[in-house]
Amino acid sequence: MSKGQEKHQKRANELMMLGKDLARRAHSRCELCSAMGVSLRAYEVLPVPPVPDIDKIVFICGVCYEQIENPKLMDTNHWHCLTSAVWSTTPAVQVVAVRVLKRLIDHESWAEDLYDQLYLEPDIQCWISNA
Question: Would you say residue 16 has pLDDT above 90?
Answer: no
Confidence of residue 46 (pLDDT cuts 50, 70, 90): very high
Per the structure, the complete domain to which residue 28 belongs is given by 3-129
Whole-number CA gyration radius for the chain:
15
Residue 43: name the closest of 76, 34, 75, 53 by CA: 53
Question: Would you say residue 11 has pLDDT above 80?
Answer: no
What pLDDT is stored for residue 67 in this prediction? 96
Which of 3-17, 24-38, 48-62, 104-118 bottoms out in mean pLDDT, i.e. has the lowest?
A: 3-17
Look at the chain and report how many structural domains it folds into: 1
DSSP state of 36: B
Q: Which residue did the predictor score with more confidence, 1 or 20?
A: 20
Which CA distances in Å does 114 have to 10, 32, 55, 58?
Answer: 39, 15, 24, 21
Question: Would you say residue 53 has pLDDT above 70?
Answer: yes
